Amino acid sequence: MESVAGLLARVVLLLILLSKQAAGSDYGFVYNGFQAANLSLSGTARVSSNGLLQLIDQMEKYKIAHAFHPIPLRLKNSPHGGALSFSTCFVFAMVDEFLDLYGQGFAFVLSPSDDLPHALPAQYLGLFNVTSVGDESNHLIAVEFDTFQNPQFGDIAGTHVGIDVNDLRSVSASPASYFSDMTREFQSVRLAGGEPFQLWIDYDGAGARLDVTLSPFGLPKPSVPLLSSVVNVSKVILDHTYVGFSASTGLVPASSYVLGWSFAVDGQAQALNLSQLPSLPITAELIRKRPKFGGVGLPIIIAVALIFLLITIGGVVVFLVRRNWFRYAEVVEDWEAEYGGHRFEYKELFLATKGFKPSELLGVGGFGRVYKGTLPTSGADVAVKKVRQESSQGLREFVAEVASVGRLRHRNIVKLLGYCRRRGELLLVYEHMRHASLDKLLFDQPRSRLSWGQRFRIIKGVAAAVFYLHEGWEQVVIHRDIKASNVLLDAEFNGRLGDFGLSRMYDHGGHPGTTRVAGTLGYIAPELVTARKASTGTDVFAFGVFLLEVACGRRPIQPKAEPAKVALVEWVLQCWRRGAILEAVDPNLQQLQGGDYVAEEVEMVLKLGLLCSNLVPMARPTMRQVMRILDGDATLPVLSANDIGEVVMAEPGPTLERVSVPESVLSTGR
């Protein structure tokens, strides 16, 4: 249907493009959606039928995409002498699956080539490779939106915006945020949450000043740019340069999209008409095939029909939302009583946290937000965790577990005081811990000041807690999400395990269409992926990874580290093979002059960590054996690095695959 009209539009556009050519001044284009755009696409980039430029779609890993304006432009040396200016604005969106493990980048690029054939994905953003990064012969300038902090390139924060000149070390960078003209302050934003953002880049050739201004979709252009830097573009780029976008993903599946784009040489880029932009995939169907050409009557009829359709859908949505509102607000289901467990009133928690005020927010984790509160009745300090709960599947088991965990008593377990349910939300009430979670102390500071003695005590405490869950209580409790960020520290720096069984709800409900397994990437035992059954063995696996984290001071997966160091388990194993296992140890540990660094203990913990995170479940020790080894009541079995099954990152990196299984299954006294 759109064929004749569409073709006509394309031909007209092409004629306009060709007549203007790349002559220099006063050239510009505007795409409110890319239906009629003739872009030069490579990698996974394509334009969807509704005009959305999908650089990387459907949550893909290790992908590269490029989309460039097909004609190179002259952006230096204007025909009448002076330096050229340019200005561009575009709307983009980025989505990634794992809330706490970002892995992608997106960039606006001035490049001498329109496909960059030698570039790599992941941290190289589809712009450079290992040898070309930092080389002046790239003649490339980019404004990057990076969602991962990569120390290799001196990245400043998890999500940041930076100006890059021939290098991934930005000449200027800032955490992702925008200037709010209302509050006169910068507000930080989450870039990869699927929300669209608008970006303006303005280059003033005379002053060689490059301004980058970010704002959430729909807000007017802020009066203060996010970045403003002196970059002499004429010195960097070639006479003819392509303008466009590059996107890449790493170990974590992600998507990136561009909704509209305008560009002007020597002038202000035309404003985008936000109401004409294509929608992002979920709602794309509704406004697809919006008629643009043809008779006068047809569009009106279709528009009226669309409005009716929208009103009907709106009504149904409002009806459903209200129904849910009433259904979930106060209902306590019958079966809840049978398990007992303390149920708090929502009002009490609301008052305790001052109405879940942002200032009371203690942290945001994979499962939800945690607020600090003081119970109005008892005056006790608590931490309230709000968990999004989209389906009631798995909830019953979970409440049963809450009830039983509520009766658990152990000095290394964070006490769960009770829970509350409301409108698709589950609230869990824990005793409040004085210090932050262990991951913050280990990773988030430039140098962790936790000494080996403190770390070893935390390890032993957590081991005692897991042992208690597995064997010390009336029934076996599987934790399902052992990791540094679930270990909290009390006033005496004792490690206390929190967050029981939350992943259980996600095991059942889940995200249809993805092979997501509840738990946290990097701590998930392979048999959990294949058999989808949590056991004490999968807990031991995660505990092994936890041991390595604590001793090495590194997260289990660092997508942007150099390839050999991406997977922590593999890196430690490699060091062991080279006969230098202690090379993997946190360098801060040896520098601390506390005097309690014991090389033999550290080595034992590393080897024990590898043994626990063995790919072969049978070869892992039980928590009872782990406890005895940590306490010095038993010695580690004599092992060599070849006894451990390995996970290897294939170079240059697209797939994570298992390449070998140990020849000898270890005997650890079973």
Closest CA to 427 of 348, 354, 497, 481: 348
CB of 574 to ligand NAG, least distance (A): 22
Residue 640 phi, psi (nearest 5): -125, 165
Give the C-alpha separation, 236 to 170, whole Å.
14
Query: Which region, judged by CB under 6 A, interacts with ligand NAG, from 41-49, 127-135, 165-173, 219-227?
Result: 127-135
Residue 209 phi, psi (nearest 5): -105, 130
Orientation of helix 599-612 relative to helix 623-630, angle to 10°: 170
Q: Examine residue 392 and tell whether it contacts ligand NAG (CB under 6 A).
A: no
| C-alpha torsion 42→46→47→49, nearest 10 | 150
CB of 273 to ligand NAG, least distance (A): 4
Q: Examine residue 118 and tell whether it contacts ligand NAG (CB under 6 A).
A: yes
CB of 245 to ligand NAG, least distance (A): 17
Q: Examine residue 448 and tell whether it contacts ligand NAG (CB under 6 A).
A: no
Q: State which residue has the least CB distance to ligand NAG.
A: 118
Instruction: Locate 19 and state its tokens.
Output: 């007549």
Q: Examine residue 131 and tell whether it contacts ligand NAG (CB under 6 A).
A: yes
Nearer to ligand NAG, 208 or 648 (CB): 208
CB of 209 to ligand NAG, least distance (A): 8
Closest CA to 201 of 90, 96, 283: 90
Say which of 481, 499, 586, 643 is annotated catalytic.
481
Binding mask 499-538 toward ligand NAG (x if CB under 6 A, else -) reads ----------------------------------------
Would you give the DSSP letter of residue 372? E
| C-alpha torsion 148→154→160→163, nearest 10 | -130
CB of 143 to ligand NAG, least distance (A): 19
Nearer to ligand NAG, 189 or 287 (CB): 287
Q: Examine residue 21 and tell whether it contacts ligand NAG (CB under 6 A).
A: no
Query: Which region, judged by CB under 6 A, interacts with ligand NAG, from 88-96, 126-134, 244-252, 420-428?
Result: 126-134
Nearer to ligand NAG, 114 or 360 (CB): 114
Strands (E), 423-564: 425-431, 487-489, 495-497
Q: Examine residue 270 and tell whether it contacts ligand NAG (CB under 6 A).
A: no
Closest CA to 484 of 430, 428, 406, 552: 552
Give the C-alpha separation, 120 to 106, whole Å.
13
Interacting residues of 360 by C-beta distance below 8 A, sequence separation 6+: 353, 354, 371, 372, 373
> Was 386 annotated as part of a binding site?
yes
Q: Examine residue 14 and tell whether it contacts ligand NAG (CB under 6 A).
A: yes
CB of 554 to ligand NAG, least distance (A): 27
Give the C-alpha separation, 200 to 90, whole Å.
7
Site for ligand NAG in 23-52 (CB under 6 A): 38
- Tell me the CB-side half-sphere exposure of residue 145, using CA atoms within 13 A: 29
Nearer to ligand NAG, 70 or 563 (CB): 70
Nearer to ligand NAG, 272 or 584 (CB): 272
Q: Residues 149, 270, 276, 392: which binds ligand NAG (CB under 6 A)?
A: 276
Q: Can you tell me whether residue 654 is helix, strand or coil?
A: coil
Q: Can you tell me whether residue 87 is helix, strand or coil?
A: strand
Site for ligand NAG in 229-268 (CB under 6 A): 232, 234-235
Nearer to ligand NAG, 235 or 357 (CB): 235
Count of residues that interact with ligand NAG, criterion CB under 6 A:
18
Which residue is listed with tokens 């600090």?
A: 372
CB of 299 to ligand NAG, least distance (A): 10
Q: Examine residue 279 and tell whether it contacts ligand NAG (CB under 6 A).
A: no
Active-site residue flag, 481: yes
| C-alpha torsion 602→606→607→612, nearest 10 | 130
Q: Quick one: 1 exposed, middle or buried, by C-beta within 10 A (0-12, 13-18, 19+)?
A: exposed
Please report which helix (H) or strand (E) contains residue 271, including its range.
none
Nearer to ligand NAG, 37 or 644 (CB): 37
| Strand pairing category for 254-265 and 86-96 | antiparallel
Q: Examine residue 84 and tell whether it contacts ligand NAG (CB under 6 A).
A: no
Please report which helix (H) or strand (E) contains residue 16, including its range.
helix 2-20
Q: Residues 6, 24, 70, 340: which binds ligand NAG (CB under 6 A)?
A: 70
Annotated binding site for ATP: 386
Residues near ligand NAG (CB under 6 A)? 10, 14, 38, 70-71, 83, 118, 129, 131-132, 207-208, 232, 234-235, 273, 275-276
**Which residue numbers are catalytic?**
481
Annotated binding site: 386
